[in-house]
Structure formats: C-alpha cells, structure tokens
Amino acid sequence: MNGAHDCGGMMGFGPVVAEANEPVFHEAWEARMFALMSAVGDVGGWTLDEDRAACEAMEPGHYITSSYYEHWLSGLERLLQTHGLASAEEIASCIASAPSRPVTPTAADAVWPAVTAAGSYERRTGGQPLFRPGDRVRTRHLNPAHHTRLPRYLRGHEGEILACHGAHVFPDSNSRGLGEDPRFLYTVRFRASDIWGNGAPDLIHADLWEPYLEAC
Amino acid sequence: MNGPHDMGGFTGFGPVLHEADEPVWHDDWEPRAFALVLAMGMTGSWNIDEARHARERLPALQYWRSSYYEMRHYALVLQLIELGLVSAMEDEQGRMAVPPKPVKRVARAEMIPAILASGGPADRPSNRPQGFAIGERVRARTMNPRGHTRLPRYARGKTGEVVAVHGTHVFPDSNAHGGGEDPHWLYTVRFTGAELWGKDSRDAVCIDLWEPYLEKAP
Amino acid sequence: MAHDGHHHDHEEGSELSPIALRVKALESLLVEKGYVDPRALDVLIDTYETKIGPRNGARVVAKAWTDPAFADWLKRDATAAIASLGYTGRQGEHMVALFNTPDTHNMVVCTLCSCYPWPVLGLPPVWYKSMPYRSRAVIEPREVLKEFGVDLPDAKQVQVWDSTAELRYLVIPERPAGTDGWSEEQLAEIVTRNAMIGTGLVTA
C-alpha cells in the first residue's frame, strides 16, 4: 500500500537530528512496548510481514505525527484483534472479558536463546532465478492495496542485478496470511540520477523480489 | 518540492467522509481565518504561487497534523513573518509592537465584490513557440526540484497524450520564487490508469502541465 | 542512562503520559490473559539495553581491519563470519558487509520502516527511524552526511542501501591512518555506531 511509511524522497521533514549519547529507550513505556511486541509476537501466530503491515495500516496523518513505538502499539493492538487474542473492547478497557486463547508465553530464561537463534528467511524452491548479476531489469508499476516492499520512488525504473540471494519469504503474500510463497530475491542497483533526474553521481540499492521486476 | 501536499496515490487515509447538509464553516474561527487569508492576499504582498509554496513549506509534521484552515492560517503567518509584515512576537501576543510596513493596497469592504468578481486570470501572452500539439505523445520529466512545482510525483516519468492546449500561462515554478511570470504553454495531458498505476485499468487521469515539464515520448 | 524503567513502573498512573498509560494498561491485559510473562519483558529490555549493541559491530569491524582472512570471509558470507564471533539472531539473519573504499562510501537506510542489524548494532537510534532520515537519505545523501559532519569529495561515490528485505547491512568503514600496530581491542574502541550505518567516518 502507498502508505505514509513509504516516504523515500519526500521533502519537508527538516534536518536529521542526532542525539549525543542517545539512550536505547527514552521512556520506560518505550521499553515495555518494545518487549511486549517481541514477547507477544513469539506466541501470537503472526509473521514479521504481518507485523510490518499492521504498523503501516495506521491512518497516514496519525502515522507521520506519532512516534516509532506508537506505531508498534497501534500495530500490536490491530494484530491482537485480527488474531483473536483480544477484542477491541478488551483493548479499550484493558480488562480481560473473554477467555484467552491458550498459549504458552515465552519464559524469562527462554528470551536469550530466542533472540539470538540463527534464523533464515531463505527457502528452497525448485525453480531457477530469472535474472543473473549484470542483467538489466525494470521495476514494475505496482500499486498494490496490500503490503509490499517495493518503495514508490523505485517503481518504473531501470536498474542492474547486483546479486541473487536465493528464494526468500515473499512479504506481499506472507503479510496477508497467504503463506510464505518464496520468490527469488535480488539486490538491484539504480543510478540516483535515473531515479531523481538530478544528475547525482550516487547509487541506490534495494533488495527486491522477482515479481517486482521485469526484463528490459 | 516533494512536500506533504503531494498526496496523489497515497492509500490508507480511509473512506472519503461525506457530511450531510455540511455547513460552510465548522467552527467560529474558520471564517475569520479564511477571510484573513483572502484579505491579506489582496494586499498584493505575494502572488498565488508564492502562497501555495508557503503552504507546502510548512514543516511536514505540522501540515499533516493540521486541518485545512489551520494549515492556511499557519502558512499565512509564515509569509507575514518572512516579509516582515508582522513579527513572531506580535503574532504570539496579537498586539502591534512595531509600526506597520506599507502594502500595495488595503481592500476596503466596499471593494471586495469587485475584487472577487475580477478574479486572477493566469493566461499571459508569450512569443514562445508551441512545442506540442493535440494528440501528441509526451513524457513527464523525471524531476524532483526543491522548489515549487505543479508536476505531481505520481506522474513523473510517465507517458501520456496531449488532449488540450490552453495557450501560455504563468509558470508556477518561476513565479513562486521571484523569477517572474515567465509564461509557458500549458497543456492538458491524459495518462491512462495503467500507465500511472500499473493496473489493468480503463480509467485515466488528466493533468494540466506546463511545457517545461514535458518531453517528446521516446 | 537517562531513565530507570523500574522506578517509573511504580509511579502513580496520573503522572504518566497518555501513551505510557496505554502501554501499561495493555501490558496488564496481556499478562492477565496469560500471553506474556512480565519477567520475560524485563529480560527483553535488558538484552537490548545492556547486552546487544554497537560494541558487537565494532568488534566485527576491528577484526576485519586486522585479519585479512576474516575480512575476506565477511565479503563472501557476512552472516557466517559474524556468527563466528557469537553475534546471531533477530534482525541479523542475513548479513551483508559493505566495505568503504577510497572511491566509495556506503550508507544504509530503510525507507519503508526501520530495518537495522540488531545483533551487531542493537536497536536503532531515533534519527534512523525518523521521517527526515528515511525520506532524505535516498534523495540527498550528501546533504544528510554533511549534517553528520561528513563532507565527501565529489569524486567519492555514495552508495545508498535501502533495506527492503530481510538482508541487513553493516558498513565496514575505512581504517584510519595512524593506527598501525593497534590491537583489535584498541581499534574496536574507535569504531562508532554511525560509522557502521554510514553516517560517520572513523578517526583515530
């Protein structure tokens, strides 16, 4: 979806403000929010792609004017409802009224193994990649109503395949509960001057799945 | 500029809400804000393109957070302060602290109907030759200027067909930045939904675009 | 540290901001429903506040500077090379190391959310997650770099990497002059987080 999260190339947000000696969390609630998202995510039955899609589903004006962990709160509240873990009324009142879906929460001593486990989003498929490093490709004019990882600023542009990473879980399917549907993933190199028409000598790279690309 | 105003193609804002029997104003301050914006515009301190660009230059967060008349109010204040017509302190306190600067005109109540009736036509004579004809295929340039432009992001790099020629009009990209009216040929260009959005669509979007935004379709 | 989470937890609700109250209420609901163990939340927070952070990445960089075989491994298979130092897990499943050179400066962004290599850098700073950085890094990287005090010569090419998939990027900055003979530990001390994102350079 062309939501407010897809902000590459937008102007007017002002300078990047870096904080000296920035703490990991600025408020206690941010730390709790971070931990809640991680802990409930372990048992909630949703995927990382659904998680991202849920955070993007905020009304764009609200998304832009709220802070990072507020996006997480909004996403978690949405996921709890869509996955039947809590009702809108329970979230509004914060009083449990319905029986909870039986789950086994992650125990404190299971956290470290869980967060440091070497996972992978690469999946085996029978097929062969359509493109090879060095191939010229064009990104498609896609404007799906659902979650996608092809940013708007890169659509309809020519680039070059830099690397193929095998088949990876495809967010456009996985975010909608349609399964992992693995597709070949490439790093594609674009010339900044092609993207922006500004003559800049720089290069932009993005990791893009095969359905986002066509031969040119 | 790729500012917060350039909204074409965004999703996620939800349904368009229609209010039955909608009043002209929703709050008492709205008509005052509206009238102030118009009356100050009538002083001739800025042109319409500078006024539009002032709205776009509001901090993006403020723009997105504001209602329409809030946004117009903040843009007016921005212009007043930039031009030295009021100071930031005066705006805050609502009282005059420095003498007024002269303006070209102060619109009196009895002048308003005539001013509104005369409008602000934007067509201007020009010796520039017409570059494109009706039926011609043109491509909107890939450009991302930091200043004011009326070529929306969603149309850049896209190919369409000239469906109307409107003569030569004030060029906003110049007029918003003190570069003069610099009139250029203005066209209506029709883009198919398939070209703009990549979907199998029978719809089309027509956009009014000045000649410097366009090049011959490859 | 600018705050103490446990101290705030025991404050009266009326002193909390609206968002803090909402998160607190949601936590109590989810604990009541048995979905989360509150002690697990404490461990999660502590993990990313004190155990996993940019010191990990700095060790990777220092080793790459001093051990050519490791640098070569990083170029070929950064995930395995980084795992050999014990840095694995969430948001670092598929690592790519980007080596700065005299001709090329690499800079990492996630325009769509805020993807970041947690096992080597911890959680991202606020500016990395902010709209100014996400919107501008791809269209005016050199202006953004200047705001970080990095003024690159025109001849140097900027390569921006927009993290759209589960690949996570770690910039290996150039080793500064005047550090010959330094130990890995000494070198790791001078490697900054920003240098590993690409918004800083390492100086001795």
Structure confidence by residue, pLDDT tens digits, C72-85 = 999 999 999 999 99
Q: Is C114 a catalytic residue?
A: yes
Domains of chain B, first to last: 29-118 (1.10.472.20), 137-216 (2.30.30.50)
Residue range(s) defining the domain that contains residue A210: 122-215
**Domain containing C108 — which CATH number?**
3.90.330.10
Arithmetic mean of pLDDT, B165-187: 96
pLDDT of C113 higher than 60: yes
Query: Which of the four pLDDT bands, split at 50, 70 and 90, describes residue B198?
Result: confident
Cα B134 from Cα A177, distance rounded (Å): 48
pLDDT tens track for C123-171: 999 999 999 999 999 999 999 999 999 999 989 999 999 999 999 999 9
The DSSP letter of residue C29 is H
The span from the CA of B26 to the CA of B24, in Å, is: 7
Give the active site residue among C113, C130, C135, C183.
C113
Which residue is listed with tokens 């850049």?
Answer: B156
Nearest-angstrom CA–CA distance, B119 and A139: 45
- Is the same domain home to A166 and A87? no
Which is higher by pLDDT, C70 or B14? C70
Mean pLDDT of the B92-97 span: 87
Whether residue C145 sits in one domain with residue C90: yes
Characterize the bridge pairing of strands A213-215 and A183-191.
Answer: unpaired
Q: What is the pLDDT of residues B37-78, one digit of tens each?
A: 999 999 999 999 999 999 999 998 889 888 899 999 999 999
Is A53 inside a domain boundary?
yes
Axis-axis angle for helices C54-66, C68-76 (nearest 10): 120
- Please check the confidence at residue C180 and state whether its pLDDT lies above 90: yes
Q: Is residue C92 part of a domain?
A: yes
- The residue-averaged pLDDT of C86-108 equals 95
* Of residues B2, B60, B144, nearest to C131 (C-beta): B60
pLDDT above 70 covers a percentage of chain B that reads 99
At C1 the pLDDT is: 33
Least confident of A61-70, A123-132, B6-15, C21-30: B6-15
What is the average per-residue pLDDT within C85-104?
A: 95
Minimal Cα–Cα distance from A141 to chain B, Å? 4
- Among B61, C132, B63, C135, CA closest to A15: C132
Look up residue C174 and give its DSSP letter: P
Instruction: Return the residue of C nearest to B2 by Cα.
Output: C135
Same domain as A127, residue A201: yes
- Let me know if residue C113 belongs to a domain: yes
**C69 & C59 share domain:** yes
The number of folded domains in chain C is: 2
Task: Report the b/e string of A126-162 with b at 16+ CB within 10 A.
Answer: eeebebeeebebbbebbbeeebbbbbbbbbbbebbbe
* A43 belongs to a structural domain: yes
pLDDT of residue A101: 80
Identify whether residues A143 and A169 lie together within a single domain.
yes
Is B60's CB within 8 Å of C139's CB? no
Catalytic one of C14, C28, C84, C115 = C115
Domain assignment present for C19: yes
| C113 noted as active-site residue | yes
Task: Quote the CA–CA distance of A55 and A66 in Å, as a whole number.
Answer: 12
Interface check C149 vs A, CB under 8 A: no
* Domain end call among A99, A116, A133: A116
Q: Is C113 annotated as a binding residue?
A: yes
Same structural domain, C46 and C60? no
Q: Is A47 helix (H, G, I), strand (E, B) or coil?
A: coil
Is the residue at C3 inside a domain? no
C4: pLDDT strictly greater than 50:
no
> Which is higher by pLDDT, C1 or A186?
A186
Pull the structure tokens for residue A16. 């990047």
Q: Quickly state the pLDDT bin for B93 (edges 50, 70, 90).
A: confident
Same domain, A100 and A140: no
In total, how many domains does chain A have?
Answer: 2
Q: Which residues of A61-95 are buried (b: 16+ CB within 10 A; e: fewer)?
A: bebbbebbbbbbbbbbbbbbeebebbeeebbeebe
pLDDT number for residue C11: 45
Is C107:C198 a contact under the CB 8 Å cutoff? yes
Neighbours of B212 (CB within 10 A): 17
Tell me which residue has tokens 């509150």.
Answer: C38
Asked if C107 and C41 sit in the same domain, the reply is no
Is there a single domain that holds both residue C32 and residue C64? no
Indicate which of A2, A63, A157, A158 best probes the interface with B, i.e. most B CBs within 10 Å of its own CB. A2
In a domain, C66, yes or no: yes
Same domain, A127 and A207: yes
pLDDT at C86 exceeding the cut of 80: yes
Same domain for C191 and C180: yes
Whether residue C32 is found in the same domain as residue C115: no
- CA C72 to chain A, closest CA, distance in angstroms equals 17
SS (H, E, C) chain B: CCCCCCCCCCCCCCCCCCCCCCCCCCCCHHHHHHHHHHHHHCCCCCCHHHHHHHHHHCCHHHHHHCCHHHHHHHHHHHHHHHCCCCCHHHHHHCCCCCCCCCCCCCCCHHHHHHHHHHCCCCECCCCCCCCCCCCCEEEECCCCCCCCCCCCHHHCCCEEEEEEEEEEECCHHHHCCCCCCCCEEEEEEEEEHHHHHCCCCCCEEEEEEEHHHEEECC
* In a domain? residue C75: yes
C140 and C84 within one domain:
yes
Higher pLDDT, B16 or A79: A79
Which positions in chain C touch A64 (Cβ < 8 Å)? 131
Q: Are A60 and B61 within 8 A, CB to CB?
A: no
Pair C83, C35 in one domain = no
Residue C2 lies in a domain: no
Element at C109 (helix H, strand E): strand C104-109
A142 chain-B contacts, CB cut-off 8 A:
198
**Beta strand residue intervals within A68-157, DSSP E:** 122-123, 136-139
pLDDT grade for C14, boundaries at 50, 70 and 90:
low
- Run of H or E residues at C56: helix C54-66
Contacts of C181 (CB under 8 A, 6+ apart): none
Domain boundary among A116, A146, A179: A116
| pLDDT beyond 90 at C109 | yes
* Structural domain that includes position C26: 13-50
Indicate whether C162 belongs to any domain: yes
CA distances for A154 relative to A8, A149, B152, C89, C132, angstroms: 9, 10, 16, 30, 18
How far apart are the CA of B152 and the nearest CA of chain C, in angstroms?
16
C46 and C63, same domain (yes or no): no
Residue-wise burial string across C102-137, b where 16 or more C-beta atoms lie within 10 A, e elsewhere: eeebbbbbbbbbbbbbbbbbbbbbbbbbbbbbbbbb
What is the mean predicted confidence (pLDDT) over B137-157? 95
Same domain, C40 and C65: no
**Tokens in use for B189?**
């260009």
Q: Looking at A69, A85, A116, which one is the last position of a domain?
A: A116
Looking at chain C, how many residues does it have?
A: 204
Measured in whole angstroms, the distance separating CA B76 from the mean position of its chain's CA atoms is 14
Its pTM stands at: 0.86
Same domain, A61 and A75: yes
The pLDDT value recorded for residue C103 is 94
Of A156-165, B33-42, B172-181, C15-24, which gets the smallest average pLDDT?
C15-24
The reply to whether A186 and A211 lie within a common domain is yes
Closest CA to B9 of A155, A139, C99: A155
Provide the chain C residues 125-154 that lie in CB contact (below 8 A) with chain B: 131, 135, 139
Of B11, B143, B198, the CB nearest to A197: B143
- Look at strands B159-169 and B137-140 and give their pairing: antiparallel
CATH of the domain at A36: 1.10.472.20
Residue C17 annotated in active site: no
Q: Does B106 lie at the interface with C, CB-CB under 8 angstroms?
A: no
Considering the domain boundaries, does residue A56 fall inside one? yes
Tell me phi and psi for residue C161, to 5 degrees.
Answer: -120, 110
Highest mean pLDDT among A56-60, A92-96, B131-135: B131-135
Regarding whether A111 and A128 lie in a shared domain, the answer is no
Domain match, C21 and C99 both: no
Would A8 be classed as within a structural domain?
no
Would an 8 Å CB–CB cutoff place C116 in contact with chain A? no
Q: The domain spanning residue A149 has which CATH number?
A: 2.30.30.50
What percent of chain C lies above the pLDDT cut of 90? 81
Nearest-angstrom CA–CA distance, C36 and A104: 8
CA A187 to chain centre: 17
Q: Is residue A11 part of a domain?
A: no
